[in-house]
Amino acid sequence: MSETVLTPPRENVEPKTLVEGAYQRLRRDIIEGVHPPGEKLRVEHLKDQYDVGAGTLREALLLLVTDALVVAQGQRGFRVAPISIEDFEDITRTRILLETEALRQSIALGGEDWEAGIVAAFHRLSRAEQKLGGQDDYVHTAAEDWEKRNRAFHDALIAASPSRWIRHFQNILYQQSERYRRISLFRRPIPRDVHAEHEALFDATLARDADRATAILAEHILRTLESVRHMPTDFFTSPAKH
């Protein structure tokens, strides 16, 4: 578990330990909905599924508590963190608060490297957005790809913020919102034209117009909330298997 705290992307980091490996796989499965919200996570079953010992799996679950993807209740085991429309609203608003502040700091302090990083990330994202208009055959992998680049773009925007804490919290919230987005994407793929928004955000940021950039960013994040709001009403009645 190299660099477990206050260090954003332990995404593609090669796991140095069995605990870290199980942690990564479990997290992916929770975000992708393999383990739906509210599901009981029984160590005895999961240890076979993930091919590690019981103690090791417990430790992986404990690490997931850090990301608030798993909740632990003493003497009563672990569960996948539940979801709700209220929670997603909270996540979205808090993300706006943190991400706009980080963007403001970046615009104030960012140098040439920061700008170059944004240009590159925007370019890659634009290409991915083009592909989304392609055949339905590629939709799934293309969406997966777009997801990664979208995140990379957002990360690049705030990369010049000196606040490790804001980035840490922003990270947790992004991960959380990804879980919601995956679910809504599953039903209604690519609901809106995001490219124009990204371009406006890109322009305002490089023009160092902090007020305009943060306004666009806030609006941009808020729109995701809308697309989840229009889900079937019974959607958030957590399955709570068993």
**Both tokens of residue 93?**
């608003």
Does 5 interact with DNA (rule: CB under 7 A)?
no
Which residues fall within 8 angstroms of residue 37, CB to CB, at 6 or more apart? 80, 81, 82, 83, 179, 238, 239
| CB 8 to DNA: min, Å | 21
**Both tokens of residue 240?**
């709570």
**Both tokens of residue 56?**
């090791």
Does 2 interact with a second copy (rule: CB under 8 A)?
yes
| CB 173 to a second copy: min, Å | 7
State which of positions 9-38 bind DNA (CB under 7 A). Answer: 16-19
| CB 70 to a second copy: min, Å | 8
Measured between alpha carbons, how far is residue 74 from residues 26, 78, 79, 102, 139 in Å? Answer: 20, 9, 11, 36, 42
State which of positions 7-26 bind a second copy (CB under 8 A). Answer: 15-17, 20
Whether 70 contacts 63, CB under 8 Å: no
Strand partners, 78: 41, 72
Does 99 interact with a second copy (rule: CB under 8 A)?
no
Interface with DNA (CB under 7 A): 1, 16-19, 40-45, 52-56, 58-59, 72-78, 242
Interface with a second copy (CB under 8 A): 1-6, 15-17, 20, 55, 58-59, 62-63, 65-66, 68, 70-75, 81, 87, 90-91, 93-94, 97-98, 101, 162-166, 168-169, 173
